[in-house]
Structure 1
Amino acid sequence: MQFQGTDQYVATDDLKLAVNAAIQLQRPLLIKGEPGTGKTMLAEQVAEGLGMRLLQWHIKSTTKAHQGLYEYDAVSRLRDSQLGNDKVHDIKNYIKKGKLWEAFESGEQVVLLIDEVDKADIEFPNDLLQELDKMEFYVYETQETIKATIRPIVIITSNNEKELPDAFLRRCFFHYIDFPDKPTMEQIVEVHFPGIKKTLLKEAMEVFFDVRKVPGLKKKPSTSELIDWLKLLLADDIPEDILRNRDTKSAIPPLYGALVKNEQDVHLLERLAFMHRRES
């Protein structure tokens, strides 16, 4: 079983090697990289490429580790007992299975995505060490052990917002998705916009990478921003000569709102354009 990429996802040789190494080692694959470089989409395409079901657990700042295992609704059980509901006698009626439970009890191998693990509390990764290592956990309310019959392929993403514990890192196979170079980016664009005019693509790529090179940007535009920007350029039928001969008085590229995401970066580009006009 080897992941070779898909028609919808351009995976570099290093990335394919990392995915297959994690599968072979039976360890979670920890993926880091700039936001918008396709970390979440990787899990979707691994599932697609290997013909497996995908389970997604999107982490928030309020997410607790036990929610991935199960949640016991004691309040509902108390209310039902007061109302004389018969289902109160079976405690399993009040246990909601989490994504890890679903993955462990699946009769077939699945891909489990734990998305943006660094959003949660710093103790969140440590609270999952045993479960991800042994692929089992204990349910105290029913006094049963849930153990994976078929070990899922676990993909964990992180935007590097906070450091992850060493004990957690030791149990993962790590890969950092480098920002695509121009040839790789052209392949990615071709997947999203088959047959796009080469001249438009060339000029748009020049603008995009020029913006990324600007020193001091608070947020550099990523792959997803480029895709959105190209979609707008194509929808508005922007001729490529506007990109090629863009007026420095306009300070920033047309439809810049798809590329630049905060006012500080807009002001920075305007100042640079002003300095360029004075030097000219």
Structure 2
Amino acid sequence: MIPEPTPPQPTTRNAPDRPDGRAYVVRGDLDLAVDVALATGRPLLLRGDPGSGKSSFAAHVAWLNNWAYHEHVVTSRTQAPDLLWSFDHVLRLADAQAQRLKPIDAYVEPGVLWKAFAPRCARAHTHRARSHRLPRSRGRRPVRTDSTELCTQSVVLIDEIDKADPELPNGLLVPLGSRRFTLSQTGRDIEPEDDAKALVVITTNEQRELPEAFLRRCLVVKLEHPEPEELVEVARTHVDAYDGPFTDADLLLAQDLADLVQGLRADAERRAHRKPSTAEFLDAFHACRKMGIRVEDSDERWRTLRRMALLKQDNVA
């Protein structure tokens, strides 16, 4: 029986960011990078400007291979154990005050790396913890377990790691290298499962330099901004995936916008301003397409859209 994975869940049709991975144009060495990462077991660190497609690449790999998908968006408060497990201190304190303490495992929740490195262990733990949290009553039915087959192949996205304190990447060196870790609250050792295959994708906007020891343990790929013809292909892929069909009018619009973005980026480089990204090109394309706005128009609607979606600066002609 072919396992049923849990791919990234699609958002609604009108949502601007669809994390289902269906629409993505793979460029450069990304395909080879995935193969090397799987062959070596090393994390794949994607560098590049915000909006360059780093995060959505992970979801695309999961969708393309029909693998499970887990993601954790890093914040300034994220610590290394948060990617392995979480412990609900608030719930345990409340239970202690109410004199209804449960086994300590009941307050532990598997994190994205636990689910990827030891998926069966993570699922079993979740079922046990859930059963402990049920009210204690006579004749209580056992927790119903998930009957779907478990996908042991997965993609893990650790998004924007440069937002975190430098101690976070340092704290991940051993778990990412050995795929083993110990739960500090219980002392339980979590071991990797032999048939678990996990691609760990880590993104950075390079707002903070990452430790050398961490970089040494990663495969590093930088996503460069697409050329105009590649931007057109990005627009085509998104329309075909979600709206379709991609018409001749859409092609002309995408070409005009791609050329404009290339010029705006060159001008921003000279002025040391921020450059419009691939994501902002797509926003402008979808807005023009749905609102019937053309790039060659000189009316107020186009000038306003250009300023809001691409330039994002006040008082720009």
1:231 pairs with 2:286: yes
Q: How far apart, in 2, do the equivalents of 1:179 and 1:104 lie?
A: 33
Q: How far apart, in 2, do the equivalents of 1:253 and 1:210 lie?
A: 16
Residues 146-188 of structure 1 show CA distances to partners (whole Å, capped at 9, x for unaligned) of 1221241100000011110010011101100111112211111
Aligned mate of 2:188, from 114, 121, 144:
144
Q: How far apart, in 2, do the equivalents of 1:175 and 1:129 lie?
A: 19
Q: Which runs of 5+ in 1 are unaligned?
A: 1-5, 271-280
Q: How far apart, in 2, do the equivalents of 1:140 and 1:33 lie?
A: 35
The residue that corresponds to 2:138 in the other structure is: none
Residues 7-29 of structure 1 show CA distances to partners (whole Å, capped at 9, x for unaligned) of 62110241111121111111100
Secondary structure of the structure 2 residue equivalent to 1:71: strand
RMSD after superposition:
2.1
Task: Output the amino acid matched with 1:224.
Answer: A
Q: How far apart, in 2, do the equivalents of 1:217 and 1:69 lie?
A: 40
Conserved 8 A contact 2:38-2:198: no
Task: Output the amino acid matched with 1:67.
Answer: D
Conserved 8 A contact 1:52-1:109: yes
The residue that corresponds to 2:179 in the other structure is: 135
Closer/same/farther in 2, CA of residues 184 and 140 from structure 1, 3 Å limit: same
The residue that corresponds to 1:278 in the other structure is: none
Task: Output the amino acid matched with 1:148.
Answer: P
Conserved 8 A contact 2:24-2:237: yes
The residue that corresponds to 2:247 in the other structure is: 195
Give the 5 Å matches for 1:98-247: 98-107=111-120, 108-149=152-193, 150-193=196-239, 194-197=246-249, 198-214=251-267, 215-242=270-297, 246=298
Moved more, 229-238 or 155-164: 229-238
Residues 112-131 of structure 1 show CA distances to partners (whole Å, capped at 9, x for unaligned) of 11000001112110011101
Alpha-carbon deviation of 1:141? 2.4
The residue that corresponds to 2:313 in the other structure is: 262
Q: Runs in 1 of length 4+ with deviation above 3 angstroms?
A: 73-76
Alpha-carbon deviation of 1:73? 3.2
Secondary structure of the structure 2 residue equivalent to 1:24: helix
Aligned length: 253
The residue that corresponds to 2:144 in the other structure is: none
1:11 pairs with 2:26: yes
Q: How far apart, in 1, do the equivalents of 2:202 and 2:262 lie?
A: 28
Give the TM-score normalised by the residue count of structure 2: 0.74
Give the TM-score normalised by the residue count of structure 1: 0.83
Task: Output the amino acid matched with 2:206.
Answer: N
